[in-house]
Amino acid sequence: MMLALLLIFSITTAAQDSQTEQNPEIARLLSRAKDGYTDDQLRLALAYQSGKGVKPDMTEAAHWFLRAAHLGNVAAQNNIAYLYFTGQGVERSQEEAFKWYQRASSEHSAPAQAMLGFMLINGIGINRDQQEGAKWLIHSAQQGYQPAEFNLAILYAHGVAVNRDMEESMHWLRKAAGQHYAPAEFLLGTRYETGEGVSADVHEAGKWYLRAAEQGYPAAQNNLGVLYERGSGCVQDMQRALSLYRHAALQGNGSAFTNLSFAYANGSGVERNYAMAYFWALLSQHTSHPAAGERAQDYLDALRGKLGDDDTGRTEAQADEWLRQHPIVSKEWDLIELPAAGAANLTAGMPPPLPQ
């Protein structure tokens, strides 16, 4: 057994050596990394993580991040913490993630402080301590780290670990949005649309939705689409609304699925097509914003009633295939977005009454 393990190790090492021989820069990094130069250990880890100049290998990336982290490299500490948090290249361990974020936080790393705050507030990898978590978020936000500013705005809006204070919430939200942080731009848009913490102003809402949408933020694309469909604060433009819904839908936004379903069922901006309405409604059922909400089953049944058995089965198969090719996962804007940060995803209306 020992011989077999040694043989496997030697084959792996030979393969890695072959890779580095083909890339002089990687070979130089590997040589210096083995000599204990932490900056080069970090660069080598990042190369293995990204596949830049070498075959991607998350296990090797984790190995070199960990070596540099033990030698005090703060960036490496952040990276190995993230890998432990997500289970990439190492066995997932929220406790190890917390330990490394804590070490990086003690060196005044704003991203680590924000993540440490998130874990403490939510009791991830450590016993829940919301006051301590808020303290670390404040430290991070005071360094201008946008995700921390954004989440601090959430804490003040909901009175979590701090006294509820909408003025303070708006202060931190504006700071994050002013740095073009898309989740903050989106949330600021919802504040202006709903009048929460600020005077309602649909024009201002549209401006902030647009800024976040231009960065590809799906909830903002959807909400901006709703404004165009309604003509709220802008000239009504159903084609632009549909385009925005489609962009959001491709990123798995449930409200966009619903809005596309209603558009096809109503024939709004597109030819009425019950198969397409059913397709998008089916997809929405796999999200937190299913079409028609509590009336979802009635809506689906009504659409099935417009389709024959063959069309129903064919559409369901197409929806299943779409889900296989487009897993519904949120784009990872930042890990530390708090559960309380879920601002409103808009739908254009109630499920349409289908013609008899």
Instruction: Set out the domains of the chain in order of their start, with CATH numbers.
Output: 24-103 (1.25.40.10), 108-173 (1.25.40.10), 180-356 (1.25.40.10)
Given its phi and psi angles, is residue 234 left (phi above 0), alpha (psi -120 to 50 degrees) or beta? beta
Q: How far apart are CA 305 and CA 286, in angstroms?
A: 21
Number of Cβ atoms within 10 Å of the Cβ of 194: 13
Closest CA to 334 of 186, 126, 159: 186
Q: For the purposes of burial, counting CB atoms within 10 Å of the CB of 22, is it exposed (0-12), middle (13-18) or buried (19 or more)?
A: exposed
Residues 153, 176: contact at Cβ < 8 Å?
Answer: yes
Question: Residue 353: what pLDDT?
Answer: 56
Looking at per-residue confidence, does 329 or 14 come out higher?
329
Average pLDDT over residues 264-277: 96
Average pLDDT over residues 260-270: 96
Q: For the purposes of burial, counting CB atoms within 10 Å of the CB of 278, is it exposed (0-12), middle (13-18) or buried (19 or more)?
A: buried
Average pLDDT over residues 211-219: 96
What pTM was computed for the model? 0.85
Q: Beta strands of 231-334 (E only): which ranges? A: none
Predicted confidence (pLDDT) per residue in 253-264, tens digit: 999 999 999 999
Question: Residue 290: what pLDDT?
Answer: 78
Average pLDDT over residues 261-271: 96
Q: For CA atoms 11, 16, 19, 20, give the dihedral sign.
A: negative
